[in-house]
A and B are shown apart, each in its own frame.
Chain A
Amino acid sequence: MNETTADISARKAWMGLMAKAPAARVGALLDGACARPDFKWLRPPEVGSVMVRGRAGGTGAPFNLGEMTVTRCALRLASGEVGHAYIQGRSKADAEAAALIDALMQTGQAATLQTAVLDVLAADRAALTKVRAEKAAATKVDFFTMVRGED
């Protein structure tokens, strides 16, 4: 597949969304949208780790902070499209669902899955993020001056 910059940024967005989705959510949405197509494993689901890095002082030299669990897999649909998944955690079923959607997003079903899966995931996430940000905002300190001393 010859990917343009726009294709890549769209694919990055959906892969990232699925990587961060709650357990079992991606598969449930996929099954609600369409029947699962036939596929062959190129790389069966595998649980591993990724070393997360930070930067000294937030902006300086990188250092190894610690690992996180990640599950990855790759598959090929009977129609030829290849789907990849790298998702957080240890769920092989979630990785399989994510790779299927990654492959199906390269087919004629892309528009269906965009609305039935990806837009839903994005909306779930936006709602959660908004609630958390608003709870944080409610704990923001409003300073007011009680007494200002005279020189």
Chain B
Amino acid sequence: MYVAVKGGERAIENAHAWLAEERRGDPSVPELTIAQIREQLSLSVNRVMAEGSLYDPDLAALAIKQARGDLIEAVFLIRAYRTTLPRFGASAPVATADMACDRRVSATFKDVPGGQVLGPTFDYTHRLLDFKLAAEGETPPAPQREADPAPVPHVTGFLNQEGLIEEAPHDDTPPPDLTREPLKMPADRSLRLQALSRADEGFTLGLAYSTQRGYGRNHAFVGELRIGTVPVEMEIPELGFAIEIGEVTLTECETVNQFTGSKTEPPQFTRGYGLVFGQTERKAISMALVDRALRWEELGEDDTGAPAQDAEFVLYHADNIQATGFLEHIKLPHYVDFQSELELVRKLRRDVQSTQTKEAAE
């Protein structure tokens, strides 16, 4: 029940003024610029773009500044802005096989054409705090080596040649769009992939981890993980042909999973897929594991009742903006609701007491 009340305007105004001051922090410390956030907190920027579902590094950096570094609040700001934009159309599906890779590793094949390219990774760092970063200093340029211009093919292609892995056959069915139609069950794989790509990283990671620990067991190898840029091409109706309208950095993860076969499928390796905006590899690997777990039905596997196999549970709880919106609204005034609860509890207590008194009298 909702009852409109007035009051609190001045308190709200003053709270916002104080928020702005706290956001700025100590004025003797130089203010952060958007460019500094974009360039130096780029993995935060990438996460906000991925979960905000809008690729624009400057906007994500602005949102991070405005949100005082609260990334879910920043995602919220991006989602709200996104709804104000007219949609010009949809791109042709990006060709990740042609990615200009910064990083490309395979945990399943040592000697893949194109090689194991580590890229700018935290892997193999010792996770010891580097106090040199607390002092200002120049970063020496990264070493360079002549690059092989040959394309870097997808690793799963090699298993495909032997017929040992399920194929992902070409298909041009226009995909459903959960930004246009509310999410409905059953959700086909394209809808699940859209939801997972913008899902909360922590939630996706937790679910993916649960599958590794045995809830909906499907032992995953990272067949390939690649990070790099791909051009985005779109058909322009007024021109009558397609042009490149930009370029995005993506992280793609393909898992290769053991599969002993089912009623409908022969023994072979199956695949999970993750594709996320930006350099976001924890999220992309998590997405691939959860995607694979959710495919139990189409692969004829048993439903073991694991949370990661339950599409309704996963997809309806993976969006951190929906989740935080509902969660945080309970701190807003519910005076009238609570008043009626109070009345109810008082009445129940009176009833119990009077029954007890009556029983005691008898």
Residues of A participating in the B interface, judged by any CB pair closer than 8 Å? 8, 11-12, 15-16, 19-20, 46-70, 72, 74, 84, 86-90, 129-141, 143
Contact = CB atoms under 8 A, between A and B. Distances in A.
Contact of B55 (A20, A46, A69, A74): A69
A119 B148 CA distance: 24
Nearest to B191: A63
Contacts of A140: 115-118, 145
B194 interface: yes
Interface residues of B, number: 84
Contacts of A47: 85
A11 B233 CA distance: 14
B299 interface: no
A8 B120 CA distance: 38
Given A67-B55, A86-B236, A139-B117, A131 B144 contact: yes
B29 interface: no
A65 B194 contact: yes
Given A58-B254, A65-B194, A88-B246, A136 B147 contact: yes
B67 to A, nearest CB: 19
Interface string B111-139: 10001111110000000000000000000
Contacts of A59: 97, 154, 168-170
A137 B275 CA distance: 23
Contacts of A67: 53-55, 82, 85, 87, 179
B342 interface: no
A90 B252 CA distance: 26
B145 A137 contact: yes
B307 interface: no
B236 A54 contact: no
A19 B87 contact: no
B30 interface: no
Contact of A64 (B49, B90, B116): B90
B283 interface: no
Nearest to A58: B96
A141 to B, nearest CB: 4
